[in-house]
Chain A
Amino acid sequence: MIVVRLALQSLRNRWITALLTIISISLSVALLLGVEKVRTAARDSFSSTISGTDLIIGARTGDIQLLLYSVFRLGNATNNMSWKSYRDIAKRGEVKWAVPLSLGDSHRGFRVLATTADYFKYYQYRDHQPLQFTEGQVFGDLFDTVIGADVAKTLRYKLGDKVVISHGISAIGQKHDARPFTISGILKKTGTPVDRTLHISLKAMEAIHVDWGTGMKMPGRTTPATVLRRMPLRTKVITAALVGLKSRMQTFAMQRHVNNYRAEPLTAVIPGMTLYKMWALVGTAETALIAVSALVVTTAILGMMIMIFSTLNERRREISILRSVGAGPKTIIGLLVSEAVILTALGIVVGAGMLYALLWASRSAIDQHYGIYLAVTAPSQNEYWALGAILLGGFVAGLLPAWRAYRVSLADGMIVRT
């Protein structure tokens, strides 16, 4: 159809402003979609990190803090809980299983988690999925370690490789270089912090600290490994414990019991509820982010409206020519509105394309650094609604200049009066 062709040619004639408009809309669309994607991906990866654990127990601290340092390896424990309390609780009749966790050391930026072989049996992520090994098995020897998928991938480790653990979590900490560990197993990728963790046994954790005083290596003393293997290594403190109960009905009673534990101030949290609390906390920030991106989109659409308005004057002739050959208000308004809709639609397509390209290119880096797995999936229903709303916004933004153009063309009559 000639009118459509002429509309496109008119747009091509003003390609610089049209292009800039498309770019500004597409950037705003990419921002909005990006915020939404990261938000849902962050929620997803947080909620799928732990599953099947009824309670997490640690020294008295904030609920969220306990969850963050025990499961997400974010931040540090301010206090430890005693082994005695752990045993005492683990022995209770309601408890089906309990796994102690001890954190504090690291290897080249990856956290080291000391635990028992039960961890690989009971820890579950995303809808009750257990941990699986791609290669090897649980630590057999005292100085064996099981590493997560990302550790293996990033540091290019394979079974049998030796690794040295550093004291503390900073990369410049003193090294337990007298006691290298051998990789006995590599875990399958889970998309959780487990991927970025090296697992050793609680005994090994004690063993590497044998010649240490409080936070410092004692100079000149190195107990040989053979001696260590024969030593009665006893764990005195742990960071936290994961607990599974025989019946979920007992969760609250058990939580109350732990929180009122006499011998030592402890905290027990229910992972799901604590996550929920955390979302409530983070929710405000999320809403703010979305509001800001929505404003950016609005600004971009307003920019397009300004662009169309500013071309109206130079297009008065174009419009009066169309009127003179018999184009009615429908055609004139349709012309300007469809221009707005075309620009918005192109902005949406380009913006979504940009975002997906960016996601695709950066997802492994984001996964590595922030532990957020960004799935490159089709837009969710929410996102479709948002895109639909943007398109509608573009349509409405086109109506105003279109209406004005028609009014002006009426006032102009047949000849543009300037």
Chain B
Amino acid sequence: MSGGAVLELEGITKRFGALVANDDVTLSLKKGEVLALLGENGAGKTTLMNILFGHYAADAGEVRVEGRPLPPGKPRAAIAAGVGMVHQHFTLAGNLTVLENIVIGSEPLWKVGSDRDGAARKLMQLSATFGLPVDPEARVGDLSVGERQRVEILKALYRDARILILDEPTAVLARPEAEQLFRILRGMAQGGLSIIFISHKLHEVMGASDRVVVLRGGRVVAERATAETNPAELAELMVGRAVARPKREAHAAGAPVVVAKGLSASAGGGMALDAVDFEVRTGEILGIVGVSGNGQAMLGRVLSGLARLDAGTITFDGRDIARITPRAAVRMGIGRVPEDRHAEGVVGDLAVWENAVLERVRDFSRWGFVRRRAAEAHAAGLIARFDIRGAGPATRTRLLSGGNMQKLILGRNLAAGPRFLLANQPTRGLDEGAIAAVHQELLMARSEGAAILLISEDLEEAVGLSDRLQAISKGRLSEPIAAEEVDARRLGLMMAGVWETRDAV
């Protein structure tokens, strides 16, 4: 056992058929350390952590906790050894309370009744020690994602975890929540816990870890002390070549294409819109920034033709589009990139060519019959033009990576040369290489004269791409400010709902 290592992985290899997900991976974690496992989607990070936690059995190699080997493929043994895992997709039951979710699985099945009070006491004590406030009696279904994640972490701590593994913990969090999470993790590490978090976001790796292990193609390609590296180096190590997000070049915007005045919409459940005004001009990107859940989803639904307005007008080249249908939007040359590409962007079980033409299948038909040749040729064109990798027209769309799926969705919208493009969270969950590609496409469409409305929770992205920015807060939209005038403080205030209105109405 090397000096102070609480966890060692040695020579871990795991194959899925022909794919080598992990190839001879060796790493160790010291007590009280925060280790970042950095890598692109598909680099084998999650597989490695699943092996460590016993969800998968490795084909070769060994996992040792505090010097003792863990039996492969036994999550219970991992839990007993003090390993806790917080999955990317939470494993909580929405209809149970926080306390019930935490106790579940650590109580014997056949026990009648349970020691609720004792469990609640232990939970509140953990909550106080680690600064993770929760209400034990709240129903998990009513909690925000940030709170649910806290419950997941407490669940691991409740089972006396000394080693905590977090798989993409910030994938579902807004920036402030993410920063808070890392403060808490930092405190835990000082309290003696050892932490591994998986990420593909450079800034959080730089900000929150002591040490970084970079995984690429299933192999460890580098290990750095965080203090001795920089984002550019890490990006290059992660992708395997130098990547840079494209830069926006200033150019003059033209006439307004989409003009929205006084949009109000109320939704069952989600945040409504309240007297929203904006206009998007040709050749410009208007960025809508804000913390998630402040009305972005509703704005996207209204502009996509999926939700009805209670009040307000939207015009597109002077034509009224307030009550537009999705099909009419496609016909008029409005491109739409949905917020959730799996749920709304593509039909995963259809072929790539079918998804490529789904919006305009009537243009690829004669007498009601689909002209399959033409549709496949169109899909092949998109694949070539937008660099969609790992796919042919006949590939099942579900098999594409997130980035390539997004390129397909962007491609089918951009191929028609839209006058207006709605890009709703276009890079959420994508890795660095794919983000650069998506940004490139958006900027290209902008320079070709498209008016683009970018809705994004990623500030860096919104500020980098947009010509003008508006913040959304509780369904209301701020006045626009030019990208050149943006500073972090002002943007932060705007996102919190503090902005000057020109004239009080």
Instruction: Tell me, yes or no, whether A binds B.
Output: no
